[in-house]
Amino acid sequence: MYKDLVEKSSATLAVQDDAFFKNTFRRDELVNSAIDTVRNFERDMQRLKQDAGVLFACATTAGGDDNGAKMAELFDKWRDNPPSTTAIICAAAEHFDIPADNKYLKAAVMAGLAAEVDNDNPYHSNHHFREVTAAMARLCNVNNELAASGKPGAVMLESDNIGKCLLAAAGHDLMHDGKTNSLNGPESHEQYRLENKAIGAIEPFMKLVGMSPRDQEDVRVMIRITDISAPQGGKSPHTFLKSTVKGGAEGTPQELQDIARDRALLTMCTLMSDADLGPSTATNFDYSRKMTTLLSRENPALADSNKTLSGFLQFVVGGELTSDAGKTASQKALGGIMQEAQKPDGNAPAAPAVKQTQKTAAP
């Protein structure tokens, strides 16, 4: 069922006119990614069935909040031999029983194909796209567990909204250039510089499948709140999200104000935030520390140290995850990581090599 969706999505992208590719990846890049994704799709789906016990483990039972080491082990395994982002999306769709003709799932699959276009950034690489998409699938599952249990304030996410979540996760860092939103120092800060590149990459997909302007804006907001940068003396979109969750939406910029008006969108944004930070907050110290090493390679202004990790977790993450699902599933993992990060540097675990999947040349 989902393989047919992937094949049709690939074919649809291949026949678009040149204007379609203005702000997204080139036709040949998407076609090459699609060839490789389709070739390995059944194998990847079979492997993901074996990984489902980690991705979709119940987090609300005794011990369900102690899965960080298993997530780290899974992500380490994927670093050597990854499934495609598209396969992760389809495995989640199968778990949540999202029909293959769901337009949000169709757009997510297209974003998944784009997420497999070779990207050799040390941190914001194809691996990051896969891990964040997997973390999003996990968090959607935990969120719906909480909603089903009657937790006050919890919002059950139906198929359409889960499709939007997967789309935002797969697309949130597309076209990332390995730099920051301040190319030439703090005074050059440009809010959403990278996030707008990602939004521009997926907008053609959203329009192609017929998403409404309102639904497209929901996805844009979800991507914007992953911006943890701030102008001098100002607040980051991530900070505004945390304030809104706590009931303080004052000063929220206009482009983010929908999160204070729509409880479902606010929930989805908190999941997106936690999924994006998941490799460093929802695994274990060793994996989180490896991510710090990779990020320091990408941004030399950051030291490869426990102090950098500790500062990030305290002053950017704020010492706690944002969503109820993240707190339920991973707050214990985050606490353990923060405790270890406060210790002096020892022998830091070796960061994984930056390996990308070899693509087949387009015919």
Q: What stretch of H or E contains 104?
A: helix 103-115
Helices (H), 172-257: 193-208, 213-224, 237-245
Would residue 202 count as lying in a domain?
A: yes
* CA atoms within 13 A of residue 224's CA, in its CB half-sphere: 22
pLDDT for res 205: 98
Closest to 121 measured CA to CA, from 184, 182, 194, 185:
194
Total residue length of the chain: 363
pLDDT for res 249: 85
Phi-psi category of 353—alpha, beta or left, where left has phi over 0 and alpha has psi -120 to 50?
Answer: beta
**Which residue range(s) make up the domain with 202?**
2-341
What's the domain count of the chain? 1
pLDDT for res 26: 96
Q: How far is CA 316 from CA 189, 239, 312, 313, in A?
A: 17, 8, 5, 6
Would residue 276 count as lying in a domain?
A: yes
Would residue 357 count as lying in a domain?
A: no
Tokens of 24: 């997204």
Taking the chain (363 residues) in consecutive chunks of 10 residues, what is each chunk's mean pLDDT?
Answer: 96 97 96 97 98 92 80 97 98 98 98 97 98 98 97 96 98 97 92 98 98 98 97 95 93 96 97 98 97 97 97 96 96 96 82 54 35
pLDDT for res 361: 36
Would residue 350 count as lying in a domain?
A: no
Degrees to nearest 5, angle at CA 184 with 180 and 187: 100
Would residue 355 count as lying in a domain?
A: no
State the CATH number of the domain containing residue 221: 1.10.1300.10
CB neighbours of 318 closer than 8 A, spacing ≥ 6? 242
Would residue 155 count as lying in a domain?
A: yes
Closest to 91 measured CA to CA, from 202, 8, 217, 5:
5
pLDDT for res 348: 65
Would residue 358 count as lying in a domain?
A: no
Q: Are 243 and 252 in contact (CB under 8 A)?
A: yes
